[in-house]
Structure 1
Amino acid sequence: MTKQVLFCFPYAGGAASVYAKWRKHLLHGIECYPVEYAGRGKRWSEPFYQQMDDATEDLFHQLKHTIGSANYSFFGHSMGGLIAYELCKKVIREGYQPPAHLYLSGVKAPDQPRDRSIHHLPDDAFKKEIQELKGTPQEVLDNQDLFSIFSPILRADFRLVEEYRFIKEESKVPSPIIGLYGEEDDVDEEAIKKWREYTTSHFHVWGYPGGHFFINDHYEELARTISEEIGHRNDRVGHR
């Protein structure tokens, strides 16, 4: 039996390790593959991506062997959702089978404006913006030595999103899209529903209590629900 793989793409500032705890909550037969971006985790010494094409080119070559030999799906949160979408398009252009499902969480559709630019702000202002997002541990924000280590990663990731340019041609993908959102997040249900225009297949929306980083509070349910759906990939994409 061909294995089932769920590739998980981290949010801005995140490393593959943010998905490590998902593994024990996926159903038997579903493999979690946390994706590691250049410049963090085991790839700490590598230069950051300068633009989205750098990310998709790098990640395609990193994942293509598994993509070519497995049934697979993509899950991406925030920046990771945008990268997952663009990588899906790259996979198709390269002649590979697209993901069975594309789970896009806490991220605006590609044609929607990004509200503000923060990657260039002075340290104090940048730190304040990061703190309001509530995704970076407070001990990192409070410790200047730690923040000086993580700040370049965060700035590079925010730059990637803030300087992203949407190309309308070939914007639709054949994979079913499932949009996920936190009910207290600025990227709300209305914003997530705009992803409907980017698939030629099924589209569904899942809402969860919480803000932008709702996935950290609901990872057990998310892992279980997603793996159940992947396990029944030949059926119609289900409802929650």
Structure 2
Amino acid sequence: MPTAPTGIGVQRPVSSPRGLWFSGVTASPATIRLVCFAHAGGAPSVFRDWPTHLGPHVDVVPVLLPGRGLRLWEPASTDIRELAQEVATALIEQCLLDRYAFFGHSMGALLAYEVACVLRERRAAAPERLFVSGSRAPHLYGSSLGTDLSDDALLAWIRELGGLLGSGARSQFDRRLPTLRADLRACESYRPQPQQPLDCPLSVFSAKGDLIADEEQADQWREYTAVSMRRRHFPGGHFYLVGPHRFSLLRELRGELARYAPAPGSSTPARDGQRMHP
């Protein structure tokens, strides 16, 4: 099995061909790359139409985790920190850290944060900004999120959160069930390690009526950045990003990412503080 560097003098097995971790990587003239992490049980398809809404200066790169899509044959991970190590290795191998930001929703927010911490440990380039959505702060994880429920009860819980509605929901749920349970176990077993706050700014998005992450729980992300934190609160519940209220989120993202587009008459985008760790 091939290996990839995880730090000076350390080698780690690569569990999957490098090209399978990311979809949508292009040689476009975009000025910033938005690496996107989906919710528990989610897949890159959540971000399918984001390039249309975020503009030509943003290259949207969804992360394809084991247990879904072309990686359905791989077992989904139940360890957030181990998964973060593997994602960080893939990002470094594929040279995707020249100018980038992270977006993560729910479990994806937790994973995006851990990947940012791993990259800092490896002295890699830091993200321009970390966008977290539908997620309580990392130290508030560890309670039950549904792995103790029967299949029927878990489906009812997902529907109460606003997901898997409409015809075909049951068959879709059954296909995703092993991956969903693995993802939920990863969140339930997660315990954050003591870390210095990140030196990139945060944008924290929450939604009214979210039963997973309320406003107060989302506010506590503030202690995870040494720079600045921007807060927005939307209607729509936990799965607002796949319903009609997602357009409010997309407008917000487009506005924040627009600052990285080149200024009129210039080919050089503005930078937002220090991006390399000494």
Q: Same fold (TM over 0.5)?
A: yes
Q: Secondary structure at the match of 1:139?
A: coil
Count of matched residue pairs: 233
Deviation at 1:236, TM superposition (A): 7.2
Q: Which of 195, 202, 224 is the equivalent residue of 1:198?
A: 224
Question: Is 1:98 aligned to 2:145, yes or no?
Answer: no
Structure 2 match to 1:133: 161
Per residue, is there more helix in 1 or in 2?
Answer: 1
Identity of aligned residues (%): 33
**Residue identity matched to 1:182:** A
User: For the pair shown, which has the larger CA radius of gyration, 1 or 2?
Assistant: 2
Say if 1:236 and 1:199 are closer, same or farther in 2 by CA, change over 3 A.
same
Q: Secondary structure at the match of 1:92?
A: helix
Q: Which runs of 5+ in 1 are unaligned?
A: none
Say if 1:157 and 1:138 are closer, same or farther in 2 by CA, change over 3 A.
farther
Please list the CA deviations of residues 173-207 of structure 1 after superposition, one character each: whole Å capped at 9, or x if unmatched.
11101110112223222221111111000111011
RMSD: 2.1
Q: Which of 71, 82, 93 is the equivalent residue of 2:110?
A: 82
Say if 1:31 and 1:150 are closer, same or farther in 2 by CA, change over 3 A.
same
Q: Which of 28, 47, 61 is the equivalent residue of 1:19?
A: 47
**Residue identity matched to 1:165:** R
The 5 Å alignment of 1:1-240 reads: 3-64=31-92, 65-68=94-97, 70-143=98-171, 146-167=172-193, 169-186=194-211, 187-216=213-242, 217-233=244-260, 234=270
Say if 1:163 and 1:171 are closer, same or farther in 2 by CA, change over 3 A.
farther
Contact 1:7 1:73 in 2 (8 A): yes
Deviation at 1:109, TM superposition (A): 0.4
- Distance between the aligned counterparts of 1:147 and 1:119, measured in 2? 14
**Residue identity matched to 1:176:** P
Say if 1:147 and 1:204 are closer, same or farther in 2 by CA, change over 3 A.
closer
- Distance between the aligned counterparts of 1:141 and 1:214, measured in 2? 17
Of 50-59 and 110-119, deviating more is: 110-119
Deviation at 1:42, TM superposition (A): 1.7
- Distance between the aligned counterparts of 2:86 and 2:100, measured in 1? 18
Contact 2:146 2:154 in 1 (8 A): yes
Please list the CA deviations of residues 73-130 of structure 1 after superposition, one character each: whole Å capped at 9, or x if unmatched.
0010001000001111011111111110101101000111454242143222222222
**Residue identity matched to 1:108:** R
**Residue identity matched to 1:183:** K
Deviation at 1:57, TM superposition (A): 1.8
Please list the CA deviations of residues 52-75 of structure 1 after superposition, one character each: whole Å capped at 9, or x if unmatched.
12211221122223333x211001
Please list the CA deviations of residues 111-162 of structure 1 after superposition, one character each: whole Å capped at 9, or x if unmatched.
114542421432222222222222224434434xx44321111101111111
**Residue identity matched to 1:196:** R
TM-score normalised per structure 1 = 0.88
Say if 1:147 and 1:214 are closer, same or farther in 2 by CA, change over 3 A.
closer
Say if 1:20 and 1:122 are closer, same or farther in 2 by CA, change over 3 A.
same
**Residue identity matched to 1:227:** R
TM-score normalised per structure 2 = 0.77
**Residue identity matched to 1:173:** L
